[in-house]
Amino acid sequence: MSQEKVMSPFNLGVTAVFTALVCVATIVFSIYVPATEGFFNIGESMVFLSAILFGPLVGAFAGGVGSMLADLILGFPHYAPATLIVKACEGAVVGFLKKRSPKFSSMYYWRGFTLVLGVVIGSLLGWIGTTYYSGEVELTFGVDIFTLQIPSEFWLFLGIITAVAIISLGLLANPEFGWTIFSVITGGLVMVLGYFLYQTFLLFPLFNIEVVAIVEVPVNIGQMIIGAVVALPIAKIVWRALPYLGKR
């Protein structure tokens, strides 16, 4: 992509509009999560939509800056540095993968790809979970310590569910839209991992705030799912109305 195209008035205008949309979508509905001093929101929908429709640069800027502004406006400045980086990475990954959609010559290749991907990711999730995160786990919250028993069967079940979900994607979705879904899920998981690492290793040293990082993992996964459910149908509607956007 040339510098002229990147810096065109159209791209600048779209970036400004989606930065505002991300900020508004994040602010308009939020639920405070006391265990992490963070909040659940629906801003992911606009992060995904900006990246799907207009690529990694717009997705990264709108996702990072729009979400960071929402953190500051809502009174969560301790998350603003992480949000700027994590949401920018999320938008960039979704936009990058969407634009690099491989050309599957037939449904058989697409289904073969999702079959192998499902088996590999499901197996890795089951193996890592049973090896490193099974058994007795201690959660520290302030001066209180909670003990949680996580059976290895939980991770095996989660690995199987993940594998089945990915394989089903190959069976139910056409290759082009299926790759878009894959791009959104991958970017969403980058967001989940980014916040988990920030809460685990940086939030206390930087802001002297102790949180239970693992509590927000399902919250952020929920954000990812709801964001995808909102963004993907809107993207399909926009592509039907403006087919050239699907080729960007």
Which range has the worst mean pLDDT, 81-85, 158-162, 187-191?
Answer: 158-162
Whether the per-residue pLDDT at 68 is higher than 90: the answer is yes
What is each CA distance from 220 to 64, 88, 225, in whole angstroms? 16, 16, 9
For residues 105-122, average pLDDT: 88
End-to-end CA distance of the chain: 10
Task: Encode pLDDT of 120-149 as tens digits.
Answer: 888 988 887 788 667 776 554 445 666 767
Which element (helix H / strand E) includes 168? helix 152-172
DSSP 39-85: EEESTHHHHHHHHHHH-HHHHHHHHHHHHHHHHHHHT-GGGHHHHHH
pLDDT of residue 247: 64
Task: Encode pLDDT of 74-110 as tens digits.
Answer: 999 999 999 999 999 999 999 999 999 888 778 888 8
pLDDT of residue 152: 87
Give the three-class secondary structure for 8: coil
Q: Where is pLDDT greater, at 210 or 49?
A: 49
pLDDT of residue 141: 47
Distance, in Å, from the CA atom of 88 to the CA atom of 81, rounded to the nearest integer, reads 11
Looking up tokens 């592509």 gives: 239
Percent of the residues in the chain that have a pLDDT greater than 70, as a whole number: 90
Task: Let me know the angle formed at the C-alpha of 236 by 16 and 26, rounded to the nearest 5 degrees.
Answer: 40
Residue 38 pairs in a beta bridge with 33
For residues 151-162, average pLDDT: 88
Distance, in Å, from the CA atom of 204 to the CA atom of 199, rounded to the nearest integer, reads 8
Task: Encode pLDDT of 209-246 as tens digits.
Answer: 988 887 788 888 889 989 998 999 999 999 888 876 76
CATH value of 3-247 in 1.10.3720.10, 1.10.1760.20, 3.50.50.60, 3.40.50.460: 1.10.1760.20
> Would you place residue 4 in the very low, low, confident or very high pLDDT band (cuts 50, 70, 90)?
very low
| pTM of the predicted structure, to 2 decimals | 0.84
